Structure formats: structure tokens, C-alpha cells
Structure 1
């Protein structure tokens, strides 16, 4: 029996006024994604990829359509996204092109702060942050500040921070754009591992064709619409990331 979709987008559109015209950033997108899936979103610049992630992540409301997460209607054109802050915190993790780490905090502190904001006691937050970072191969970098970390290491800290509250939906916008091919591949393999081991739905916007074999499906957007869907022909079993 096929599991119900963790994320369901129904006829989502997002329009922005621009002078005397209206820009259709999204124009009727529907999709489903399940727990354990790694889904890629591709397409040219301006095709609506980042807008789709913002809407799925409850950071912007759709101008039309609905967003369902874990079987619950959570957003539509009349949604009050401020009221959904707790839902976002508990169920959604975000990873962006830049790691956006706090420069004066260590790797462990950058992860722990996400838990402390969620009212987890500092000692418990630090302990779980250390556990996450060790799992992602950064046990030797716990006390290093961002300036002492490589680009790939910084992005892994950002991923650990996104995982801190055990989200069921993880959204990543061009997370490997600033990385070389080796580090970019490692980060994509990590997302593959997270989807499988944590039974999470992971959706990644990417322009990088070198790691498309890792995705279960790749959706291509153009002019705010899904124009194709490709299913991966092969499955890659990533090796554990070591320190």
C-alpha cells in the first residue's frame, strides 16, 4: 500500500504586481511528495523554483491553491502565516544556498541555538547538536567557528541546524551552488541519506546536473509551471560520511 503524500500542492499560483502588469511566478502547480523521497526541482532562472519552496515552506501564501502537509490543509490564499510559525518550526527544515551561520558561534552552538529557540534546555540542546554534527561527520569541528570551516563543512552545519527539530519536510534552495563538484556531491548524498534514514521528504532546488541520479524524481519548471517529471533510472547508495 502506497503511503499518502507528506506534501500535497494543489493548483498553487503566486502573482506579484509589477507596475501595470502582474508577474506570474507560479501559475497552477500541483505535485505530491512522500516521506523517504528526495525530489529535485530544476528549471531556468525565473521559472518559479524558489517561489515554490517559499510557498511549500509556509513563508509565503499562494495567491491561489492549497498546501497540505501531513494530511492537513495548512496554507491557502487566506492563510495567516504568522499563526503557522509553530507548525513551520516543528515540521519544516530549511537549507539555503548560503549557510548563514552566526559567525561568533561555534558549529555546535549554531545548531544548539535552533533548539534553544524551541525552548529546549541549553544542556540538552548542546548534547543533541553534538550528536547531529557527529552523525554528519563533523565531530572534529564542534568547537570551530564558521570562518574555520570549509564551504562544505559550513553547509553540513546548516543541514544539522535544519534537522535539529526532526522535521518531516526539508526544503533546500541551491544548497550546492557555492561548492565544488566533490563537496556538492557529498551534500547531495547527505540529503539522499537523510530522506532514507529519517524517512523525511526532502525537496531540493538545483541547477547541478551531476547529482541528478540521486533523486527519486526531478520536476522541471518553466514559466511558473511544471513541464516535465523525470524518474531516476538508477539508485545510488551513498557511503557514510566520515570525519
Structure 2
């Protein structure tokens, strides 16, 4: 993985803007920067849709963000509306409390509800908030995501007080899904070194808000 180029890494990046104070002008600037950087996708709040994204730039949105405490039907409705408004990918937040309680059937049902709401063609990423979970819970949540038909498991919202992505969590998640699902590392990745470590641990997608600074450290 040490020979990854800037362009290689850029095609793994979801260039992200999820601040509550974000404006439509901010999203326009995000899209312009994403295009300039050559990243794979942007990730925005669903209320910012629809957006004018150039061909080739994937539009992702969040659902049940950031707490995951929304009713599953609300998450599903939010995700379905986003797809109808042009999003291609949905990053949903599980009910972290259910995972902490060991109620993985509820976690599974939550993910299934969103999967069914968005259909088979949309990419579904499942945010498990790994910093708040034990290793056993991380494994079980990843297994639930796979059983429910998700495409990715994702470490973090970036808003939880327990923290964001860690190399250890990414490695455990990657080992659990075994290449059958992608692994998105997100939350607190601000340097080239951190991004490289996440990729080497098994991340196949990176959620970054400071994408330019991270990418500048990779060779062209």
C-alpha cells in the first residue's frame, strides 16, 4: 500500500460536509473542490439535496445522522427521499445503544429497513460508531450489516464524544467482512499519515473533510 499515488487515494475519498451550519453555497464550494481534487464522492446532509454534481462525482448523504436514535422507518424514509433526489449512496447510523445492549437483532432490523427503502442499486454504508463499542460489538455489528445486504461498514460519524476512526477498529472491521463489504474509515483523519495507516489497516473508502491537506502528502 505504500506505493499509493495521490490519484489512487483521491478515488477512495468521500469529500464530506456535514456541519449543521453548512449552506448551499458551502455545498457548491465542496463540489468545486471535489472536482478539482478528483475525489470519488461528496457526502452531504440530505436537506442539501438536490445538488448539481458533474458526471462522475458520486453524491452520498447521511441518514439517521448523527445520533442513530431515529426510528428505523424515519431513517428509511429519509434515505429513500435522498435517492429520489439524486443521491447514489446513503451512510446510515445504527442505534448505537442497541449495539451496546447486545440487541443485534434490532441492529439488523434497522439496517434491513433502510436497505429495503433504498432498493438494490443504491450503495448503503452502515455507521457503527466503533469508538463507542467493544471489539465483540464491532464484530457483531459488521456481521449484521453484511446479513442485511449493506455494501460498506463505516467506523464513525465524526460527531461522537468517544472519538472517530482508529486503526485497530478498521483492522477488526476489515477482518470481519473479509473483503465482502467495503470498509469506510471516517472521523478525525486529518493527515496523510493517518489516511495511509487506515488504508494499510484495510480501509477501502475514506471520509474526509480536509481532503486537500490529506491528499497533498501522497506522491503524484
TM-score (normalizing by structure 1): 0.40
Greater RCO (CA < 8 Å, at least 6 residues apart): 1
Larger Rg: 1
Higher helix share: 2
